[in-house]
Amino acid sequence: MSCPIGNYNGDAQSGERLGSEAGMLYGDYLMLDKVLSAQRMLSVESNKPVHDEHLFIVTHQAYELWFKQIIFELDSIRYLFSTEHMEESRTLEILKRLNRIVLILKLLVDQVPILETMTPLDFMDFRDYLSPASGFQSLQFRLLENKLGVKTEHRVKYNQKYWEVFSSDPAAVEKIAATESEPSLADLVEKWLERTPGLEEDGFNFWGKFQESVEQLLLEQEASAMKEEYEHVKNYRLMDIEKRREVYKSIFDSSVHNALVTRGDRRFTHRALQGAIMITFYRDEPRFSQPHQLLMLLMDIDSLITKWRYNHVIMVQRMIGSQQLGTGGSSGYQYLRSTLSDRYKVFIDLFNLSTFLMPRGSIPPLTDEMQKALNLAWGSPAHRPRHQVKHLTEK
Residues 75-134 that bind a second copy (CB under 8 A): 75-76, 78-82, 84-93, 95-96, 99-100, 103-104, 106-107, 110-111, 113-114, 117, 119-121, 123-125, 127-134
Report the alpha-carbon distance of residue 124 to residue 287 in Å, rounded. Answer: 56
**Are 256 and 344 a contacting pair, CB within 8 Å?**
no
Binding of residue 212 to a second copy (CB under 8 A): no
Closest to a second copy by CB, 25 vs 219, is: 25
Closest to a second copy by CB, 28 vs 212, is: 28
Instruction: Give residues 228-267 in contact with a second copy (rule: CB under 8 A).
Output: 230, 232-233, 236, 240, 243, 246-247, 249-250, 265
Report the alpha-carbon distance of residue 3 to residue 33 in Å, rounded. Answer: 18
Supply the minimum distance, in Å, between the C-beta of residue 208 and a second copy: 19
Binding of residue 69 to a second copy (CB under 8 A): yes
Binding of residue 203 to a second copy (CB under 8 A): no
Angle 254-263/231-252 helices, nearest 10 degrees?
A: 80
Measured CA distances, 365 to 203, 274, 360 (Å): 14, 16, 10
Q: 152, 154, 174: which is closest to 163 by C-alpha? A: 174
Closest to a second copy by CB, 42 vs 173, is: 42
Closest to a second copy by CB, 112 vs 211, is: 112
Supply the minimum distance, in Å, between the C-beta of residue 125 and a second copy: 6
Supply the minimum distance, in Å, between the C-beta of residue 316 and a second copy: 5
Cα-to-chain-centroid distance, residue 72: 15
Supply the minimum distance, in Å, between the C-beta of residue 363 and a second copy: 9
Supply the minimum distance, in Å, between the C-beta of residue 347 and a second copy: 11
Binding of residue 139 to a second copy (CB under 8 A): yes
Supply the minimum distance, in Å, between the C-beta of residue 173 and a second copy: 13
Binding of residue 20 to a second copy (CB under 8 A): yes
**Are 301 and 105 a contacting pair, CB within 8 Å?**
yes
Q: What is the dihedral of CA 347, 351, 356, 357, to 10 degrees?
A: 120
Residue 278 phi, psi (nearest 5): -60, -45
Binding of residue 226 to a second copy (CB under 8 A): no
Residue of the chain from 205, 216, 351, 364 that contacts a second copy (CB under 8 A)? 351
Binding of residue 62 to a second copy (CB under 8 A): yes
Binding of residue 218 to a second copy (CB under 8 A): no
Collapsed DSSP state (helix, strand, coil) of residue 189: helix
Q: 343, 368, 199: which is closest to 270 by C-alpha? A: 199
Residue of the chain from 202, 227, 365, 392 that contacts a second copy (CB under 8 A)? 392
Closest to a second copy by CB, 150 vs 215, is: 150
Closest to a second copy by CB, 215 vs 315, is: 315
Residue of the chain from 213, 318, 343, 367 that contacts a second copy (CB under 8 A)? 318
Residue of the chain from 182, 218, 238, 261 that contacts a second copy (CB under 8 A)? 182
Collapsed DSSP state (helix, strand, coil) of residue 268: coil
Binding of residue 164 to a second copy (CB under 8 A): yes
What string of H, E and C letters represents the secondary structure of 52-100? Answer: CHHHHHHHHHHHHHHHHHHHHHHHHHHHHHHCCCCCHHHHHHHHHHHHH
Residues 318, 320, 324, CA angle at the centre, nearest 5°? 115
Closest to a second copy by CB, 43 vs 274, is: 43
Q: 157, 166, 143, 205: which is closest to 364 by C-alpha? A: 205
Supply the minimum distance, in Å, between the C-beta of residue 212 and a second copy: 19
Collapsed DSSP state (helix, strand, coil) of residue 11: strand
Segment 4-10 long-range contacts (CB within 8 Å, at least 24 positions apart): none
Residues 132, 136, 139, CA angle at the centre, nearest 5°? 130
Give the number of residues in contact with a second copy, rule: CB under 8 A: 215
Residue of the chain from 267, 281, 297, 366 that contacts a second copy (CB under 8 A)? 281
Supply the minimum distance, in Å, between the C-beta of residue 143 and a second copy: 12
